[in-house]
Amino acid sequence: MFGYIQYNKDALSEDDFALYRSYYCGLCKSIKQLYGVKATRILSNDLTFIEVLLSALNEPLEEVVEEKCMVNPLLKVTTRINKYDSYVAKMNIVLAYFKAVDDVHDEGRHKSMLKSLTKPFEEIKEEYPEKIQHIEQALEKINQLENESCNDLDLLCNTFGRVMGEIVSYDVVFADELYSLGYHLGKFIYLMDAYDDLFEDIKKGTFNPLKKRSQDEHFDDDIKMMLEIFMGDAALSYEKLPIITHSDILRNILYSGVWAKYNQVREKRGEKKNESL
């Protein structure tokens, strides 16, 4: 769905990479058990980060199993399951549902996906009514702003920040710190997504809040500075949490992985810019 909050494999030890993959595969397994194998296609690194984060913060009991891959039975994988998998799997469904709603509304795509996600989404909404209400209100606000061709980038980023704040804050004791972390990650994700999609949106004539800004001489550097501010705030929120377990993995994502992804996006943008000359 997003894919911007991810690890930098080159900077991870083999053991830490294997540990991360075990959480990824465990979350994939949970999604499959709850919603079927087709739903595993929606799994993202962004949500795996949340799984590792909540697990590191609370250090729950875990079940670690070597078994056949849920998607490719020819592969053998290690799955790591704990009490947070179900919650994160459900938040995967929530985000995928709203993405499908947008795709159907904007381009008429993914109607079958939306149909398959509607019932699970309604069940999750019953389980977490207040959280889903807040997410729904924020996303409706974003849709309204985008339909009005709003170019207030701070307002758009802040509104999506509320979405991720709600998703990450699944802890009673550290709810405020987790909300703050999620909020700033959400701002980063929204801006990265707009930056990544800019050429495609210009080509299609669809909304993107960066269209006017992209004509500025220092546009790329200005975007990087904003992204650095957002991730700096996210890192400050993370460092307030008493996390020792898996800290190398989480810091790899927050301090290195997101920028490895940014470099890929900026390199792709440079290639497309050259093609247009």
Stated as kind and residue range, the H or E segment containing 139 is helix 129-147
pLDDT score at 162: 98
The CA distance from 226 to 221, in Å, is: 9
The CA distance from 42 to 34, in Å, is: 13
pLDDT score at 74: 85
User: Could you tell me the two tokens for 181?
Assistant: 């972390």
The CA distance from 134 to 33, in Å, is: 27
User: Could you tell me the two tokens for 158?
Assistant: 């802040």
The CA distance from 29 to 40, in Å, is: 8
Torsions phi, psi for 76 (to 5 deg):
-110, 130
pLDDT score at 103: 78
Q: 0.85 cut: is pTM over it?
A: yes
Amino acid identity for residue 157 in this structure: C
pLDDT score at 108: 61
The CA distance from 191 to 150, in Å, is: 14
pLDDT score at 99: 87
pLDDT score at 114: 85
Helix or strand or coil: residue 202?
A: helix
User: Could you tell me the two tokens for 134?
Assistant: 């807040």
The CA distance from 54 to 169, in Å, is: 9
pLDDT in tens, the chain (277 residues): 578 999 999 999 999 999 999 999 999 999 999 999 888 888 989 999 999 999 999 999 999 999 988 777 888 999 999 999 999 999 999 999 998 888 776 666 667 888 889 999 999 999 999 999 999 999 999 999 999 999 899 999 999 999 999 999 997 789 999 999 999 999 999 999 999 999 999 988 989 999 999 999 999 999 999 999 999 999 999 999 999 999 999 999 999 999 999 999 999 887 777 666 5
Among 105, 102, 131, 115, residue whose Cα is nearest residue 193: 102
- How far CA 74 is from CA of 29, 78, 106, 217, 253, in Å, comes to 15, 13, 38, 51, 29
Write the DSSP symbol of residue 80.
Answer: E
Helix or strand or coil: residue 246?
A: coil
pLDDT score at 189: 96
Crossing angle for the helix pair 175-204 and 258-276, to the nearest 10 degrees? 10
Helix or strand or coil: residue 178?
A: helix
pLDDT score at 275: 67
